[in-house]
Chain A
Amino acid sequence: MIETLIPLVPILPFVGALVLGLFGKRIQAALGEAATGIIGCLMPALAALISFGSFFELIGRPESERVVVMTLAPWVSVAEFQVSWSFLYDPLSAVMIMIITGIGTLIHIYSMGYMTKDESFWRFFAYINMFLGAMLLLVLGNNLLVMFLGWEGVGLCSYLLIGFWFNVDENAYAGRKAFIVNRVGDLGFLVGMFTLIYFSAMNFEVVTLSFGELGGRMQVLSMYKMWGFPVLEVAAFAFFIGAMGKSAQIPLYVWLPDAMAGPTPVSALIHAATMVTAGVYMIGRMYFMYTMAPMTLQFISIIAALTCFLSATIGMAQYDIKKVLAYSTVSQLGYMFLAMGMGAYSAGIFHLLTHAAFKATLFMGAGAVIVALHHEQDMRKMGGLLKKMPITSYSFIAATFAIMGFPGTSGFFSKDEILEQAFEHAPALWVFGIAAAGITSFYMWRLVFMTFFGTYRGDDHTWEQCHEGPKRTVVPIAILAFAALTLGYLNIPDVLGGSYGFSQYLSPVVTDIDSHKAVVEHSASAEDGEWVEWVLMLSSTTLSIFTAWLAYFFYILRPDLRESLMSGGLARSIFKVLSEKYYVDEFYDMAIVNPLKRLFILLYSFDRWVVDGLVNLSGYLSRGLAQIAGLFDSGIVDGVVNELAWASQTTGKGFSLMQSGRIQVLIASTLILFTGVFALLVFYL
């Protein structure tokens, strides 16, 4: 079944996108919104059905048969360069497509509620279907080129959906910003791919980009150097730049908070659950290369720890409910990359899975709140919504427990796993990680208290109209909230009596640098290691609960204390720096955007005056030259011709006088001539 049905998984959403893109407007006009939405949801739902069915078939197989490669058709076939349209279905991509189609389908259903009464309803579903197709292509691609196609496809759809309401300038700007920042990263991806192709071509008969074969070639490629660095370091670094762009890591994270300009389902699906995790997935997929590039891994973990910590601090000082979640996403992506950077790939993928669930819940909850309050996103004008929207609120709170890492929820298992790994590899990074965990808990509870508790701070009219959304928005939130609470039990650490089920499941395709068994064996004593793990777990949990209590204290118990604290000098200026996001956007404007703009102006004036001037000058010159040539032509050339004609006419006339017809003149001249010639002959011969 897998072999026949999996290729349909990316194709089905594309079909949906095609149908809606071509006929959507007519369908919406003729059959109404509901039919359009059902068509839009049908394809992802089918894909999800196939994904989950295939997963259960896959885990039924023995471990050695769990990697399925489906080659559909050749794509590029030039001499030794062979790339085909082929899909790779293995435990890693199986998990990914379940996340994408599962959450994707729920969010599609949710969108039917969220996007209702939008005149471009059909366009939204066409785009988001296309996004789903591109994302599935990215995840299922068996070689780098198919992956890159999906990679670019999701970038395009992200651009289209961020700027979905493009008649507001700000949204269009945010879309452009996302697209351009992503291009910077895509260049890195391309450079990495070309590096691999170049060194593959040097050493092997046939250049393929498929992951299976690349994995086998790493040993050979690792012997080469490029610009003084090992080739694999260079390639891994270049690919990581791609991941930085797509997955919003420092310094390319700036687009993600702005991307919140898009509709909230888009933020939930693309900018929280799926697309932004593409970089993490890519590193997981190419783990064989990263394992052999320790310097790059170190770089990744440092960048990730910084991203994780700094964006969490920014999240503390935002008032826009979606901006908080956006910085939270950047921060959580930092956790994933932290895991990747330490070679704990399965932990990173596991956090990807749990994060997809709880962050999608949070975004969808936030979207429900935003709709209920007539598109109000400022948390200062919310509060007390628990009474009006109980299901949404409880789901949101459940997801908040998950993201703070409350014991027993999914975030607890995935985040503690990463923190534990960080502590083992680099305690300095662990400090960042655990600090970020504390801050995460603070700003999430701050958000919850500001939104769902306390008293409502907006106008009364909105409060009276505010109510729980329809079933099609509430049910997906509840389902995902349940997933956010429970998904953690897939990977219970051995300290808690589990066996790292998720890591074991991934291990045939994604091998951690030092897997858990090895850790346990190598540590001085297993009990010693366990003791450390317990302490770590307790400390991070305690810290999260403490910061959650801080949020409760400052936002519910003693708001007056917060006010007085905030009015002070230092706290106020720190808050200002944080709420202005460390002035990174301003810095980029100053350091990159404005110099570039000035360069454009300079180049434009150069073009205008020098290049155009040269062109015009040569135009004038050649016109003058042409005039001279024209004079020459009409004067000398034509003159010569005319003169010649005149001369021959005149001589002709002169000679024609001889043809008088007077026989006597003729004879006389003949006689004279004859006599002359005769005389000459006689005298000179």
Chain B
Amino acid sequence: MTLHSLLAVSTALFALGTVMFLSRKNSIAILMGIELIMNAAALNFVAFGYFSPARNNLLDGQVFALFIIMVAVAEAVVALGIAIAVYKEYNHVQADRLNQLEG
């Protein structure tokens, strides 16, 4: 297990998330894409933390990863709540059709 293989996985994850985020119309799917991107970032943190040349504080990366998971949870709660509210209002969660605030 090397840093490169780990970075390759996380890049793949980021790419997948980005594509999903950009290509899907469904808000839920977009949120899922975002989750993938965040996880790619968290994996980066952990990987760099693990292979860091500074040996004295090994847990920096893991701590960041934990924070990211926590933020992701909170974000999922808020975003899904919004998604439910939007659905109740419009009967759909298609992101490109939610353009009522457009100037």
Residues of A at under 8 Å CB distance from B? 656, 659-664, 667-668, 671
Contacts and interface: CB of A to CB of B under 8 A. Distances in A.
Interface in B65-103: 95-96, 99, 101-103
B95 A663 contact: yes
B22 A668 contact: yes
A517 B60 CA distance: 146
A660 B95 contact: no
Nearest to B96: A662
Given A664-B22, A668-B22, A671-B18, A659 B103 contact: yes
Nearest to A664: B22
Nearest to B103: A659
Given A659-B103, A660-B102, A661-B101, 17 more contacts: A656-B103, A661-B99, A661-B102, A661-B103, A662-B95, A662-B96, A662-B99, A663-B95, A664-B21, A664-B22, A664-B23, A664-B30, A664-B95, A667-B21, A667-B22, A668-B22, A671-B18
Contact of B96 (A656, A664, A668): A664
Interface in B12-39: 18, 21-23, 30
Contacts of A656: 103
Contacts of A660: 102
A667 B17 CA distance: 13
A671 B14 CA distance: 12
A671 B18 CA distance: 9
Nearest to A662: B96
Nearest to A659: B103
A84 B71 CA distance: 108
Nearest to A663: B95
Contacts of A664: 21-23, 30, 95-96
A661 to B, nearest CB: 4
Nearest to A656: B103
Looking at chain B's contact residues, is the secondary structure mostly helix, strand, loop, or mixed?
helix
Contacts of B18: 671
A668 B33 CA distance: 13
A674 to B, nearest CB: 11
Nearest to B101: A661
A661 B100 CA distance: 10
A668 B19 CA distance: 9
9 contacts: A659-B103, A662-B96, A662-B99, A663-B95, A664-B22, A664-B23, A664-B30, A664-B96, A667-B22
Nearest to B98: A661
Contacts of A662: 95-96, 99
Nearest to B27: A663
Nearest to B102: A661
A664 B25 CA distance: 9
Nearest to A660: B102
B13 to A, nearest CB: 16
A457 B46 CA distance: 156
Contacts of A661: 99, 101-103
Contacts of B21: 664, 667
A49 B22 CA distance: 128
Highest count of chain B CB atoms <10 Å: which of A656, A662, A664: A664
B101 to A, nearest CB: 7
A667 B103 CA distance: 19
A668 B20 CA distance: 12
A660 B101 CA distance: 10
Contacts of B103: 656, 659, 661
Q: Which 8 residue pairs of A and B lie closest in terms of their CB atoms, listed nearest first?
A: A661-B102, A664-B22, A668-B22, A661-B99, A662-B96, A659-B103, A667-B22, A663-B95
A656 B18 CA distance: 25
Contacts of B101: 661
Contacts of B99: 661-662
Contacts of A659: 103
A652 to B, nearest CB: 12
Contacts of A667: 21-22
A284 B19 CA distance: 128
B42 to A, nearest CB: 20
A659 B96 CA distance: 13
Contacts of A663: 95
Nearest to A668: B22
Contacts of B30: 664
Contacts of B95: 662-664
B26 to A, nearest CB: 11
A2 B91 CA distance: 126
Contacts of A668: 22
A662 B27 CA distance: 12
A138 to B, nearest CB: 96
Nearest to B18: A671
A363 B30 CA distance: 132
B25 to A, nearest CB: 8
Contacts of B23: 664
A89 to B, nearest CB: 103
A582 to B, nearest CB: 107
A146 B95 CA distance: 108
A254 B48 CA distance: 130
A668 B22 CA distance: 7
A234 to B, nearest CB: 96
Contacts of A671: 18, 22
A656 B103 CA distance: 9
A659 B101 CA distance: 11
A175 B96 CA distance: 107
A608 B18 CA distance: 91
B45 to A, nearest CB: 20
A609 to B, nearest CB: 71
Nearest to B100: A661
A660 B103 CA distance: 8
A134 B57 CA distance: 124
Interface string B47-61: 000000000000000
Nearest to A671: B18
A682 to B, nearest CB: 15
A668 B24 CA distance: 12
A201 B96 CA distance: 104
